[in-house]
Amino acid sequence: MFVAALDSCTLVPGTQRDVILSMADVGLLWPVWSERILGEVERALQKVRGKRGVPPEQIQRDFDYLRSELDKHFPDACRGGWEHLEGTFGLPDPNDEHVAALAIHAQASVIVTDNLRDFPQERLPGELHALSPVEFIERTIEVSPFRAAGALTAMAERRSLSPPDLCDLLVMHCAIGAAIDLVRPYLPSVDEHDGAATSGRA
C-alpha cells in the first residue's frame, strides 16, 4: 500500500472522492490530508454549491457530515506536523506549499491534484510526484483490478446502483473508461447484485 496526499480539488467532487476512498477502503492506497486542506474543501463546497442555490446552512450540514465520515473511516488520514516544511519547495504558487509539505511529512509517494502545473517535478524532492485524479484512479485500478472491482461493488451498493450502472456513471463523470474496462470482468452480474446483501461504508 502506498500513501497518497489528496489535494482539496481531489476531495471536492463527490463521485471522484468516493471512488478514491472506496479503493482506500480495500487497501489499495492510504490517503492523507490536513486540516488546512479540509478547510479549502469546505470553502470550495460553499462557493460551488452556493452558486447552484443551495442554502448556506445546508452546505454546512453536508460538509459537517462529510467531515464526520472522513474522521470515522480514516481516523489517521488528517495529519499535522508538516508546517515547518511549508515554503521550502519554491513552488510556482506559494499557496500550494502546504500540500507538498504534507506529502513529504507523511512520506507520500504521490500528490493527487488537478493543478499539475503548480507541482513541477523538478521542485518536488525525492520520488514524490503529482498525478491528476483521473490518472491516479487509472493507475490504482491497474494495480489490482480484482480489488478495485470489490471497491466499486461496495460503492454501487451504497448508491443503490448495479455495478455495471455505476461503471457507466464513472466513465461519464470521471473519464476513466480504460480503467473501468479492466474492472468489468470481475464485477458481479446484475442478477448477482440484486440477490446480494448490501454492505460497505456509509
Helix/strand/coil (H/E/C) assignment for every residue in 165-177: HHHHHHHHHHCCH
Residue 170 CA to residue 167 CA, distance in Å, equals 5
Set of cell numbers at residue 65: 457530515
Residue 5 CA to residue 112 CA, distance in Å, equals 6
What would the mean pLDDT of 91-95 be, rounded to a whole number? Answer: 96
Tell me, what's the pLDDT at 1? 72
Neighbour order of strands in the sheet with 30-32? 30-32, 3-6, 110-112, 129-131
Q: Which residue has the higher pLDDT, 152 or 174?
A: 152
Residue 170 has pLDDT above 60, yes or no: yes
Matching residue, cell 445546508: 58
**Residue 28: what are its φ and ψ, rounded to 5°?**
-80, -15
Q: How confident is the model at residue 198 (pLDDT cuts 50, 70, 90)?
A: very low
- The correct CATH number of 3-136 out of 3.40.50.1010, 3.40.50.300, 3.40.50.10320, 3.30.750.210 is 3.40.50.1010
Tell me, what's the pLDDT at 190? 57
Residue 193 has pLDDT above 70, yes or no: no
Set of cell numbers at residue 95: 499557496
Residue 199 has pLDDT above 50, yes or no: no
Three-state SS at 159: coil
Boundaries of every domain in the chain: 3-136, 145-195
Set of cell numbers at residue 87: 515554503
Residue 151 has pLDDT above 50, yes or no: yes
Tell me, what's the pLDDT at 200? 36
Residue 127 CA to residue 135 CA, distance in Å, equals 17
Residue 123 CA to residue 113 CA, distance in Å, equals 15
Residue 201 has pLDDT above 50, yes or no: no
Residue 197 has pLDDT above 60, yes or no: no
Residue 118 has pLDDT above 60, yes or no: yes
pLDDT in tens, 38-66: 999 999 999 999 999 999 999 999 999 99
